[in-house]
Amino acid sequence: MASAQQAVVDPGGNESRNEILQAAAELFMELGYAATSIDAVAQRLGATKGRIYHHYRSKADLFFDVQIAAMNRLNEQVEPIARGAGDPLERLSAMALRHTQILLTELPMQKVAVQGLERHLLGASSGAKRLRSVVKMRDDYEQMFVEVIDDGVRAGLFVDQPAKLITKPFFGALNWATVWYSQRRLQSAEAVDDIAHALAAFALRGLLKDPNHEAARKTALFRDHLG
Amino acid sequence: MASAQQAVVDPGGNESRNEILQAAAELFMELGYAATSIDAVAQRLGATKGRIYHHYRSKADLFFDVQIAAMNRLNEQVEPIARGAGDPLERLSAMALRHTQILLTELPMQKVAVQGLERHLLGASSGAKRLRSVVKMRDDYEQMFVEVIDDGVRAGLFVDQPAKLITKPFFGALNWATVWYSQRRLQSAEAVDDIAHALAAFALRGLLKDPNHEAARKTALFRDHLG
């Protein structure tokens, strides 16, 4: 899990901050925004409130930083694949798989980011500008998928539907995991990865005109996991 | 919209109660559970608090009844299709389409039901038993789909994956609409129905071994909306 470790260490090596984000994400997920307090985050970490306040002035600050860290994490992993070599199908398969692996293995952070948990509770005044910036990150991330999907539609590989529309159920098939999936201590990394493959393959089939097309058959996702 | 009207009129003809549920669902969706009050529901209806308290003792009562009414609505529409005639593909297509049409046209109620909005905020004591009953309704509803999907797997039409697992992205493709979709005053019923068809067709393709198989081609969902 070397790459997962990198997720919680930002370029400045600020592990403390990332531990705080991780603990906050867990509490937001378990208790909801309203019931989570800086106190509870400190308790979860076995730290003082002062340690949290050293980094974050408020719970809202913490909430936004969780979302930003989670979106950065997805972006840094998925963008190179989107911008890299390969036909739309090959790239999109790899993007979907990586996206889903991150959701499943880093569930608390991603759940907060993907579902934009209870944004309305933040109040308009202080939150509005930062909320827009998080929404923009999410929109830009989605747009990256829309463009690859549009390439696949134009190439005649994907169904003739507006790319913006069919990106919605595509993400739905993957992101719904943040609603139903729960991490289990005894579940092996392989079992989790099988789920990620099944979800990504489902989402790709949803787009494909013909999953038995040669281009699909030679794609790693389908070649290894003919499902 | 004769059938949609039936949704808000229960067998006892208790329109008042259903108006309250509808208004409460809208507020839960817009403001979240914590920020919604019996007062706000009364205000939205232009009614007195007394009228609400006549039916509901607390906000939690109201919240559960929204979820139960929404699940009943899905069940009464989808169960006859599941138990009816037709091969698994034909039945599942019709089930997926009806499910999605209800989500899109009755968004506030369904959003609360599908996402189980902020359950953790209800507190364990009074809510636990009722929460279990709502979760059971949702589980039973999902199980109905699992069984039809399993039939399709056994018939060799759907991919060889555990039905319980592939039902998750199937619902994800449809239910994610409660996250991204917003009702617009100027959107025609046809435009909404096109979205429902696109989502249902996506979800079906996600399951199908071969969307160009004769059984798929003769299914209404694909015949009318090849795409």
Give CA torsion, residues A76, A206, B207, A111, to 10 deg: 30
In a domain, B173, yes or no: yes
A127 close contact with B: CB closer than 8 A? no
Q: Which chain A residues touch B31 with a CB distance below 8 Å? A: 120
- Domains held by chain B: number: 1
In a domain, A174, yes or no: yes
Distance of CA B56 to the CA centre of its chain: 23
B35 close contact with A: CB closer than 8 A? yes
Amino acid letter, residue B137? M
Supply the range of the domain harboring residue A149: 59-225
B189 close contact with A: CB closer than 8 A? no
Mean pLDDT of all residues in B162-175: 97
Preferred mutation among A122, A139, A160, A176 to probe B, highest tally of B CBs within 10 A:
A176
Contact A172 B173 (CB under 8 A): yes
Cα B79 from Cα A20, distance rounded (Å): 46
Residue B94 has pLDDT above 50, yes or no: yes
A182 close contact with B: CB closer than 8 A? no
What's the whole-number average pLDDT of chain A?
Answer: 86
Interaxial angle between packed helices B189-207 and A163-175, expressed in degrees from 0 to 180 and rounded to the nearest 10: 50
Cα B215 from Cα B209, distance rounded (Å): 11
Cα A55 from Cα B9, distance rounded (Å): 53
Q: What pLDDT score does A127 carry?
A: 65
Q: What does the DSSP 8-state code read for residue B158?
A: B
In a domain, B67, yes or no: yes
Amino acid letter, residue B145? F
In a domain, A24, yes or no: no
Q: What does the DSSP 8-state code read for residue A213?
A: S
Residue A126 has pLDDT above 80, yes or no: no
Residue A198 has pLDDT above 80, yes or no: yes
In a domain, B69, yes or no: yes
Q: How confident is the model at residue A8 (pLDDT cuts 50, 70, 90)?
A: very low
Residue with more model confidence, B43 or A5: B43
Q: How confident is the model at residue A16 (pLDDT cuts 50, 70, 90)?
A: confident
Mean pLDDT of all residues in A95-120: 85
* Chain B nearest C-alpha distance from A174 (Å): 7
Q: What does the DSSP 8-state code read for residue A34?
A: T
A227 close contact with B: CB closer than 8 A? yes
A135 close contact with B: CB closer than 8 A? no
Contact B172 A173 (CB under 8 A): yes
| C-alpha count within 13 angstroms, C-beta hemisphere, residue A192 | 18
Closest C-alpha to A88, from A139, A169, A23, A157: A157
Mean pLDDT of all residues in B66-95: 95
Q: Is A55 exposed, middle or buried (0-12, 13-18, 19+ CB in 10 A)?
A: middle
Percent of the residues in chain B that have a pLDDT greater than 70, as a whole number: 86
Contact B30 A120 (CB under 8 A): yes
In a domain, B205, yes or no: yes
Q: What six digits make up the tokens of A37?
A: 């307090």
Note the residue count of chain A.
227
In a domain, A120, yes or no: yes
* DSSP notation for A143-157: HHHHHHHHHHHHTTS
Contact B211 A209 (CB under 8 A): yes
Q: pLDDT, tens digit, for every residue of A26-83?
A: 998 888 777 789 999 999 999 899 999 999 988 888 988 999 999 999 999 999 999 9
Cα B223 from Cα A207, distance rounded (Å): 17
Q: Find out whether A110 and A103 touch, Cβ atoms under 8 Å.
A: yes
Q: What does the DSSP 8-state code read for residue B121?
A: G
Q: How confident is the model at residue B114 (pLDDT cuts 50, 70, 90)?
A: confident
Helix and strand numbers (H, E) in chain A are 13, 0
Contact B121 A168 (CB under 8 A): no
| C-alpha count within 13 angstroms, C-beta hemisphere, residue B159 | 27
Placement of tokens 């809208």 in the chain: B26
Q: Find out whether B172 and A172 touch, Cβ atoms under 8 Å.
A: yes
B213: phi then psi, degrees, rounded to nearest 5: -60, 150
Cα B158 from Cα B209, distance rounded (Å): 5
Q: Find out whether B199 and B100 touch, Cβ atoms under 8 Å.
A: yes
Q: Find out whether B212 and B192 touch, Cβ atoms under 8 Å.
A: no
| C-alpha count within 13 angstroms, C-beta hemisphere, residue B204 | 36
Q: pLDDT, tens digit, for every residue of B133-167?
A: 888 899 999 999 999 999 999 999 999 999 999 99
In a domain, A7, yes or no: no
Cα A223 from Cα A129, distance rounded (Å): 45
Closest C-alpha to A63, from A27, A39, A102, A97: A27
- Closest Cβ–Cβ partner in A31, A118, A175 for B172: A175
Q: Looking at chain A, which residue has its C-alpha nearest residue B205? A: A206
Cα B159 from Cα B167, distance rounded (Å): 12
CATH number at residue B167: 1.10.357.10
Q: Find out whether B60 and B66 touch, Cβ atoms under 8 Å.
A: no
Placement of tokens 């839960």 in the chain: B28
Cα-based distances in Å from A203 to A209, B147, B158, B168, B204: 12, 21, 14, 11, 11
Give CA torsion, residues B167, A118, A39, A8, to 10 deg: 60
| Residue-wise burial string across B104-125, b where 16 or more C-beta atoms lie within 10 A, e elsewhere | bbbbbbbbbbbeebbebbbeee
Q: What pLDDT score does A11 carry?
A: 45
Q: How confident is the model at residue B122 (pLDDT cuts 50, 70, 90)?
A: low
Q: How confident is the model at residue A222 (pLDDT cuts 50, 70, 90)?
A: confident
Q: Find out whether A29 and A114 touch, Cβ atoms under 8 Å.
A: no
